[in-house]
Each structure stands twice: as C-alpha cells, then as structure tokens.
C-alpha cells in the first residue's frame, strides 16, 4: 500500500521482438515508444540493462518513478517477463501500461483502454494470461490495416513506409506524452485526452478567400 502523497511505481512496457532486424518494424512500435519516453528524460538505449528476461531501466526523475521494460522473450511470450517484474516490485495492476501495435487502426491513431480483450494481439494475450487479469491499461498505436494480398505475420514484421517514417518522430513524441499523462494523472485522464487521437498534425490546405470580379458595363472585370 502506497503512503498518501507518495509517488507510485509504474511499469511502462513496450512490446516488440528483440534484434536489430526487427527494430523499425510495425510490430515494434511499443519498443520505439519506450525508447522515446526515456530519451525525453535524458536516457539512451544504452542505459538499459538486462533483467527479468527483458531490457530494463528504472527511472526516477521529474516526479516520476517507473520501470521502462522491453521484453526480450519475443512477442508471444511477453507475459513471462512482465509477470516477473510485477511480482518482484509488487506493482499494482492499475499502474501498468502496455504499448503495442494495432493493425485495425489507421497509422498513428491511438486507442487507450484500461480493460477488455486482447483483440487478437498475442503479446497482450500472453500478459493477460500470466497476470490473470485483463484490467490492464493498454495503449494501442495504429500501424494501418494490411493489404488484402498480404499475410498478417509478414506485414507486421515489415518496416514502416517512407511516408510513415517521416511522421514517426512526431508520433513517438505524442505517444510518450500520452504515457506520461497516464503516470501523472491516471488512466481516466489519459483516455479522455488521448484516446482516438492522431499522433501527428495533418497539414491543412491554406484558406483561399473568394474574390469576386467587379464587372464593368461591357461585362469585363474592372482593373483594381
């Protein structure tokens, strides 16, 4: 039980697959968000150590206390790593957030939920099974639906398109902001402010004011 006013320890877990060949793939968006979150606080990827079958970093900074975790078990066994962390540090389920990809959402669209099904995501399925609850906050990040001609397993292991990569910096920053809001203000606040939002700004076409020609007696526009 946390003392009143104490900073609660959170677990921020991004899902993905280990290895450089997977590092920029759609399935690894969770790893990317975790890396961006700790980078915003002055840490690099080299700051992570290996513990509990995952890349592990405990951060205490700017009023935050959290464990950044990237399971190294491969996606389908992520729950094994997450369970060990939760049990060892006695982290409350409401202080856990899982970040993963979602092929049913447009690129960079965020979906935050604090309970519900795994939606067919094997990483979430493993975590819910090992923690024996689905009342875990999850941040799903859209990676676009696969083309009808593509196998799903192949699609999520592809790199993002050039157009998507060009927006990625903005998307990751926005996701890190959403996760920080979860830690500071809770899942309800984060859902109200980031759910179903797009992680990058759409360039709006400039407004064009309509000009009406002043017509002279001969039906010709007058010079102005």
Using one digit for the tens of pLDDT, what is the confidence trace for 41-54? 999 999 999 999 99
* Active-site choice (10, 27, 121, 130): 27
Q: Are 60 and 47 in contact (CB under 8 A)?
A: no
Active site residue 10: no
CATH number at 10-194 = 3.40.50.1470
Global pTM? 0.87
Length of the chain, please? 224
Joined tokens for residue 11 = 């677990």
Report how far residue 132's alpha carbon sits from residue 46's, in angstroms, rounded to the nearest whole number: 32
Residues lower than pLDDT 50 in the chain: 1-2, 224
Q: Where are the domains of the chain?
A: 10-194
CA dihedral (198, 76, 130, 119) in degrees, to 10, reads: 40
Report how far residue 134's alpha carbon sits from residue 95's, in angstroms, rounded to the nearest whole number: 13
Using one digit for the tens of pLDDT, what is the confidence trace for 107-149? 999 999 999 999 999 999 999 999 999 999 999 999 998 887 7
Between the alpha carbon of residue 208 and those of residues 92, 185, 204, 222, the distances in Å are 54, 41, 12, 21
How far out from the chain centre does Cα 50 lie? Answer: 22
Output the pLDDT for position 224: 43
């Amino acid at each position: 039980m946390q003392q009143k006013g104490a900073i609660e320890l959170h677990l921020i877990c991004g899902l993905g697959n280990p290895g450089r060949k997977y590092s920029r793939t759609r399935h690894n968006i969770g790893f990317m968000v975790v890396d961006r979150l700790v980078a915003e606080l002055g840490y690099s990827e080299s700051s992570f150590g290996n513990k509990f079958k995952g890349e592990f970093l405990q951060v205490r900074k700017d009023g935050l206390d959290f464990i950044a975790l990237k399971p190294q078990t491969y996606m389908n066994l992520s729950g094994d790593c997450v369970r060990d962390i939760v049990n060892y540090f006695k982290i409350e389920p409401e202080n856990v957030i899982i970040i993963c990809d979602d092929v049913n959402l447009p690129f960079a669209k965020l979906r935050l939920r604090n309970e519900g099904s795994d939606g067919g995501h094997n990483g979430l399925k493993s975590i819910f099974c090992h923690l024996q609850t689905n009342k875990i906050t999850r941040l799903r990040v859209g990676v676009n639906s696969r083309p009808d001609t593509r196998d799903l397993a192949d699609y999520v292991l592809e790199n993002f398109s050039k157009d998507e990569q060009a927006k990625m910096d903005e998307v990751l920053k926005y996701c890190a902001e959403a996760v920080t809001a979860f830690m500071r203000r809770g899942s309800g606040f984060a859902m109200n402010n980031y759910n179903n939002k797009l992680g990058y700004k759409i360039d709006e076409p400039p407004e064009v004011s309509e000009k009406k020609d002043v017509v002279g007696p001969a039906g010709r526009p007058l010079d102005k």
